[in-house]
């Protein structure tokens, strides 16, 4: 009993410490402050320091993807900055990119700089070549830096992909946004900060006061998505239903007669590593999901054709853009969209994989 009490106290202390640590990076929106004359920057900054944390520098970058160099410090006093933490196989990040691209095109010439901090989730996302291909695929024009060692991630106390930090002309983090959504609020905040920048620099800039949705944006009703991100690797495969969870090495698995919702079932022989499960040949994946769209992070040494079945039939007209003729060809280390449903609901996905060497990392849903 005493050991449990001690453990509980330690846990509470650790949680409290984490909260205090993260609060230093979060704007104190509850502080009202003292009114200051618009042109008095010193007085304005004296009030801001009571409300907002100061921006952190790009720490120990592992490389620069589409720019020779960039620093936060060189932009403070000149531009409004949006720091976006992302990683290229993350569907939540991918759905955010059209908005970032639109804001960069609309506001860059008016004083907005966006810095994409690419912090990898999986080992293959450390590869600058892979990141460059993703940057080109997504049409990203704003600067992207590699954060392979999580140095900038840790400096900001970041926790999620994606997570955004808006930094004003004076270098203060005035807004922090986690995940997708609420884009109109973020764009409105950008516009407000650009007006403040114009006032501080004594320049005339016509800043829009309307918000837009990019043509290529994908919206998700998260209240209707009932399936969690599901990992295959032994480090996080708690949803594996017919094998040993959290165990590395080979396992030969038999599919059950019926599948339970949100449980990962594998058929055949699989080699489990921390990050992925790899096929040995003639293997199957079954997952009963509740969503509209299904995404699959995977790769293969040789191009591998994966048959995609939904509810016992070929995917057909709900096949994702990475599926052709009810077959997804997996090779590159990336996110593949397998299902593009017409509406949200419960369905059973079956993937038949004839070849060895396919590495399955995760399912995500939307």
Tokens 């609420």 appear where? 182
Q: What is the arithmetic mean of pLDDT over 60-87?
A: 97
Same domain, 57 and 195: yes
Same domain, 341 and 265: yes
Same domain, 191 and 250: no
Q: In this predicted model, what pLDDT tens digit does every residue of 55-70 receive, in sequence order?
A: 999 999 999 999 999 9
**157 falls within a domain:** yes
Whether 47 has a pLDDT exceeding 50, the answer reads: yes
**165 falls within a domain:** yes
Peptide bond into 162 cis (omega under 30): yes
Per-residue DSSP letter, 108: G
Whether 259 has a pLDDT exceeding 70, the answer reads: yes
Same domain, 81 and 227: no
Same domain, 156 and 238: no
Overall domain count for the chain: 2
Calpha distance 113→101 (Å, rounded): 11
CATH number of the CATH domain containing 100: 3.40.30.10
User: Residue 359's closest CA among 270, 286, 289?
Assistant: 270
- Print the domain residue range for 108: 38-201
Which of 168, 201, 234 is the C-terminal boundary of a domain?
201
Same domain, 180 and 248: no
User: Residue 98's closest CA among 160, 159, 187, 165?
Assistant: 187
Distances (CA, A) of 141 to 83, 232, 328: 14, 33, 29
User: Residue 114's closest CA among 78, 167, 157?
Assistant: 167
**173 falls within a domain:** yes
Q: pLDDT-based confidence at 3, cuts 50/70/90?
A: very low
Q: What is the arithmetic mean of pLDDT over 219-234?
A: 97
CATH number of the CATH domain containing 289: 2.60.120.260
Same domain, 46 and 182: yes
Same domain, 197 and 227: no
CA dihedral 234, 239, 245, 250 (to 10 degrees): -60
Same domain, 178 and 270: no
pTM of the model: 0.88
**104 falls within a domain:** yes
Angle separating helix axes 91-107 and 183-201, nearest 10 degrees: 30
Whether 16 has a pLDDT exceeding 70, the answer reads: no
The partner residues of 327 in beta bridges, in order of sequence, read: 307, 324
Q: In this predicted model, what pLDDT tens digit does every residue of 165-188 receive, in sequence order?
A: 999 999 999 999 999 999 999 999
Same domain, 195 and 238: no
**130 falls within a domain:** yes
Same domain, 142 and 242: no
């Amino acid at each position: 009993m005493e050991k449990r009490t001690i453990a509980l106290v330690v846990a509470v202390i650790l949680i409290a410490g984490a909260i205090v640590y993260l609060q230093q990076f979060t704007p104190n929106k509850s502080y009202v402050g003292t009114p200051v004359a618009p042109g008095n920057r010193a007085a304005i900054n004296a009030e801001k320091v009571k409300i907002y944390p100061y921006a952190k520098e790009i720490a120990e970058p592992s490389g620069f993807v589409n720019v020779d160099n960039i620093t936060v410090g060189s932009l403070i006093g000149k531009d409004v900055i949006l720091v976006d933490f992302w990683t290229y196989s993350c569907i939540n990040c991918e759905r955010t990119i059209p908005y970032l691209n639109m804001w960069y095109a609309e506001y860059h010439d008016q004083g907005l700089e966006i810095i994409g901090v690419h912090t990898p989730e999986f080992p293959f996302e450390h590869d600058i070549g892979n990141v460059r291909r993703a940057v080109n695929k997504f049409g990203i024009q704003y600067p992207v830096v590699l954060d392979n060692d999580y140095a900038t991630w840790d400096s900001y106390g970041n926790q999620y992909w994606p997570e955004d930090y808006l930094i004003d002309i004076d270098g203060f983090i005035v807004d922090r946004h986690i995940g997708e959504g609420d884009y109109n609020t973020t764009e409105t905040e950008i516009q407000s900060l650009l007006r403040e920048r114009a006032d501080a620099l004594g320049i005339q800039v016509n800043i829009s006061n309307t918000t837009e949705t990019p043509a290529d944006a994908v919206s998700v009703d998260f209240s209707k998505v009932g399936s969690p991100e599901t990992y295959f690797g032994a480090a996080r495969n708690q949803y594996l239903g017919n094998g040993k969870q959290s165990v590395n090495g080979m396992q030969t698995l038999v599919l059950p007669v019926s599948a339970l919702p949100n449980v990962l079932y594998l058929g055949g022989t699989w080699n489990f590593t921390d990050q992925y499960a790899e096929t040995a040949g003639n293997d199957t994946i079954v997952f009963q999901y509740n969503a509209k769209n299904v995404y699959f992070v995977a790769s293969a040494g040789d191009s591998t054709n994966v048959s995609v079945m939904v509810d016992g039939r070929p995917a057909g007209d709900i096949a994702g853009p990475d599926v052709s003729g009810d077959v997804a060809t997996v090779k590159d280390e990336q996110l593949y969209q397998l299902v593009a449903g017409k509406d949200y609901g419960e369905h059973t996905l079956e993937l038949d994989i004839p070849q060895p060497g396919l590495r399955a990392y995760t399912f995500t849903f939307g």
